[in-house]
Structure 1
């Protein structure tokens, strides 16, 4: 079964870079999408294996997307320059792996694969 990842990132060049990294590793990418509304709309159509979330999407936080993913039991990581994403995006982000921003391909893939292999996912 192919691994599917939802990418929520508002910075176009970063989003395209993340997409390219994951597609090189045979992931199927949903999006990337730049907003909470676009992410929630995609989640109505399909549920991914995992998700990668930017905490700060312009003038909004990714928190509603993280809450929806939790309700769907979809594990997620954040791609953030913040050391503690939960201090900005709320408790729903606590404990989520942070691949950093910018990130390296190996770190990104390791985090997402780890989410898939976690007994909680």
Structure 2
């Protein structure tokens, strides 16, 4: 099975409520489990960064849903890479919430950054988690 890794960033649309992100996350985890998609989502209250991986068709379909989701604006695709093995294999969707310099899920970030991954993906994740002392 051909797999890919796709990363993107976006801004949350104005008016998105804090509880909405948790609802999005719960639904995403269920959909991702069904579609064999794994990944990591980071949110800082204003912007999202996400890495999604899995079967090519499933990842492409998910990205098109995200592009058309009114809760996202200014979505930018960063990486679209062929993948031989998953990076986030046990996470239907790992989640990190960044609140004013305080990081919920910092151990998930440390775990994610300790994994083998393309430099461009690592750089994108670190740009969102820049409050962490990782090199």
**Which TM-score applies when normalising by structure 1?**
0.28
Structure with greater contact order relative to length (CA < 8 Å, sep ≥ 6): 2
From the CA coordinates, give the structure whose radius of gyration is larger.
2
Higher helix share: 1
Higher strand share: 2
